[in-house]
Structure 1
Amino acid sequence: MKKDIHPAYFDATITCACGNVIKTRSTVKDIKVEVCSACHSFFTGQQKLVDVAGRVEKFQRKYGKKSTPSAVAAPKKKSEKAK
Structure 2
Amino acid sequence: MKPDIHPEYHEINIIMTDGTAYKTRSCMGKEGDTLRLDIDPKSHPAWTGIQRVMDTGGQVAKFNKRFAGIGTRTK
| Conserved? CA contact 2:45–2:51, under 8 Å | yes
The corresponding residue for 2:21 is: 21
Distance in 2 (alpha carbons) for counterparts of 1:58 and 1:44: 24
Task: Provide Cα deviations, 1:8-54, integer angstroms capped at 9, x if missing partner.
Answer: 101222222322334322112422220101111222222234x4xxx
Higher radius of gyration, 1 or 2:
1
Q: List structure 1 segments (4+ residues) > 4 angstroms apart after TM superposition.
A: none
How far apart, CA to CA, are the structure 2 residues paired with 1:24 and 1:40?
Answer: 21
- TM-score by length of structure 1 reads 0.51
TM-score by length of 2: 0.54
Between the two structures, name the one with larger relative contact order (CA 8 Å, sep ≥ 6): 2
Cα RMSD for the two superposed structures: 2.6
Give the 5 Å matches for 1:4-43: 4-28=4-28, 29-43=33-47
| Percent of residue pairs identical | 31
Q: 1:39 to 1:24 in 2, by over 3 A?
A: same
Number of aligned positions between the proteins: 59
Aligned residue identity for 1:26: S
Q: Any gaps of 5 or more consecutive residues in structure 1? A: 65-83
Q: How many angstroms does 1:60 deviate by?
A: 5.2
